[in-house]
Amino acid sequence: MNTSKNKDNKQKVKMYVKLRRYFLAGLVAILPLWLTLYILWLLFKLVGNITRPFLGPILGLFFEREPVVFLVRISSFILTLLIVMFAGMIATDIAGRKLLLSLENMLTRIPLLRDIYLFVRKLTQYVFTKKQQYRQVALLEWPLKGVMSIGFITSEFVSSDNRKMVTLFIPTTPNPTTGWFFIVPEEKIIPLDLNADDAMKMIITGGMAGTDNYNWFPVKQGRIKP
């Protein structure tokens, strides 16, 4: 009887762990997209509220009321896109980066606003940059002997003494935008049969989400995927 109860309890715990993992993985997948759309919607509303008082009367001279409302919304949408593109132009310019860095420093000094800003920035960076940055997931024996850390291979090169080297980024948990950068010989790393999305979910959630099993671990040392 006790054996049956213990078995039921174990199944319930396994189900709970699995559901929690699915929930966290869903949050990691959905939240960045939702936040991006929500911020764009807020920007669209802000632009509309600013432009409506003077744009509405001007368009009203040429159109009826219903077309005016529609045209104001279309104009607000176009202006929102232009603002986002203009912000992108500033962010890619050297002078613009300095300006954005100054604004960022101001924001990070305000306690509550700092936490919100950093959280949104981490998520958006994770969604829009991870695929370009990370080529393959790998393990490195670090920081202690017998302790493995998950990292991302960012590039490969051959040293002057003809050794195959890799650059490896090992993110921190739960903030993957910071971490450690290593240049190590290829034979020191263990490439994993694990995609970057699942690896990043594991890092952000501290291992609670990202993969249902650990069949990819342990593995033997091998060559990097071409």
What per-residue confidence (pLDDT) applies to 1? 54
The first and second tokens of residue 52, run together, are 């409506």
Region 37-58 average pLDDT: 79
Sheet holding 189-191, edge to edge: 179-185, 164-171, 148-158, 136-141, 189-191
Question: Taking the domains of the chain in order of start, what are their residue ranges?
Answer: 37-92, 134-205
d(CA 117, CA 114): 5
Q: Within a 10 A sphere around the Cβ of 194, how many other Cβ atoms?
A: 21
What per-residue confidence (pLDDT) applies to 168? 93
Residue keyed to tokens 């960012």:
154
d(CA 39, CA 44): 9
> Shortest CA distance to 197 belongs to which of 123, 124, 130?
130
What per-residue confidence (pLDDT) applies to 136? 86
168 or 56, which is more confident: 168
Q: Within a 10 A sphere around the Cβ of 109, how many other Cβ atoms?
A: 9
Fold of 134-205: SH3 type barrels. (2.30.30)
* Amino acid at the residue 51: T
pTM exceeds 0.75 for this model: no
What per-residue confidence (pLDDT) applies to 139? 92
Q: What is the DSSP letter of 177?
A: T
pLDDT tens-digit map of 103-132: 777 777 777 767 777 766 666 665 555 555
C-alpha of 8 from chain center = 38
Q: Is the dihedral of CA 10, 16, 20, 22 positive or negative?
A: positive
d(CA 207, CA 17): 12
Would you say residue 36 has pLDDT above 80? no
131 or 142, which is more confident: 142
Contacts of 56 (CB under 8 A, 6+ apart): 68, 72
pLDDT tens-digit map of 150-171: 999 988 888 888 899 999 999 9
d(CA 177, CA 106): 19
The first and second tokens of residue 106, run together, are 């101001």
